[in-house]
Amino acid sequence: MWKFIKPRPGNLRAWQLAVLIAVFGLWHVLTRPGLIPPFVFDNDRQAAFFFGEPVVIFERIVAWFFTNADIYQHLWVTLVETVLAFGIGTALGLVFGLWLALSAMAAAILDPYIKAANSMPRVILAPIFAVWFGLGIASKVALGVTLVFFIVFFNVYQGVKEVSPVVLANARMLGASSRQLLRHVYLPSATSWVFSSLHTSVGLAFVGAVVGEYLGSSRGVGYLILQAEGAFDINTVMAGILVLTAFALVLDAAVGRIERRLMKWQPRSGETEKL
């Protein structure tokens, strides 16, 4: 028996699923009123009040997606905010990273300010952005951009600094102009660093969007969570968190897909295709 269920690469997915079921099963058993006698709380309804009940949470999610189908507009808003913050932040980080890495004097002048701007807890800017850009999409995008920008910026900066001097000299000997060097050497070299940061930055763009919504908005998944919290509806809060988690996983997978397509020139460990 054990021989069949022993963890091995073949039944990896089954084991991952088993862990998920175990977590939700335990959650269900510990919170369902009347299932087991209360041992932490005073009565058997309090556990469900504080931690939510998986069954009710799933009913909530099903209602959102199928029965009422009313979550799509909120998801759409959050998605637009995330993608805009991600795109704008990455583009700005790329441009500034390239500029400062290639212009030593500008980098020397701006160095202390970049360090200061990066160490500032940027989430605290959210109320200011709400004042500047209103409670619509723009203020959330602005917050996400400040989070994404620095991650991409530092990676591009590092990526350009670490271009192999031999590859660079070789490209110059082959007759590359400074514009061609930028396009054919610096940019591809920085891209590998950017991609390693994109998984972090897509997560942060998402954080920017949701935190922005949470602080003040009229639509978005963060808004749903805020509403439910105001009514002590812990089941809806938990449902919102689960939806956000799944959503973040999908975004991360999308980035991974693009990365694999664009970075196929990079050696991967375990790849033994050499001739």
The site for other proteins (CB under 8 A) is made up of 164, 166-167, 169-177, 180, 184-185, 188-189, 191-192, 264-267, 273-275
Find the shortest distance in angstroms from Cβ 264 to other proteins: 7
Distance CA 122, CA 141 (A): 13
Based on CB atoms, which residue is closest to other proteins, 125 or 190? 190
Distance CA 74, CA 232 (A): 20
Based on CB atoms, which residue is closest to other proteins, 164 or 196? 164
DSSP-derived 3-state class of residue 143 = helix
Based on CB atoms, which residue is closest to other proteins, 11 or 192? 192
Find the shortest distance in angstroms from Cβ 196 to other proteins: 15
- CA 246 from centre of chain: 11
Find the shortest distance in angstroms from Cβ 176 to other proteins: 5
- What angle do the packed helices 234-262 and 72-102 form, to 10 degrees? 40
Return the DSSP state at 1: -
DSSP-derived 3-state class of residue 85 = helix
Based on CB atoms, which residue is closest to other proteins, 218 or 269? 269
Based on CB atoms, which residue is closest to other proteins, 121 or 267? 267
16 by Cβ neighbours in 10 Å (0-12 / 13-18 / 19+) ranks as: exposed
Residues 6+ apart with CB under 8 A from 261: none
Find the shortest distance in angstroms from Cβ 207 to other proteins: 31
Based on CB atoms, which residue is closest to other proteins, 9 or 175? 175
* Whole-number CA gyration radius for the chain: 24
Instruction: Give, in order, the Cα–Cα distances in Å from 148 to each of 25, 189, 211, 234, 256.
Output: 37, 20, 14, 30, 17
Based on CB atoms, which residue is closest to other proteins, 113 or 265? 265
Find the shortest distance in angstroms from Cβ 102 to other proteins: 18
In the block, which residue shows the tokens 């709400």? 130
Return the DSSP state at 81: H
Find the shortest distance in angstroms from Cβ 267 to other proteins: 4
Find the shortest distance in angstroms from Cβ 253 to other proteins: 24
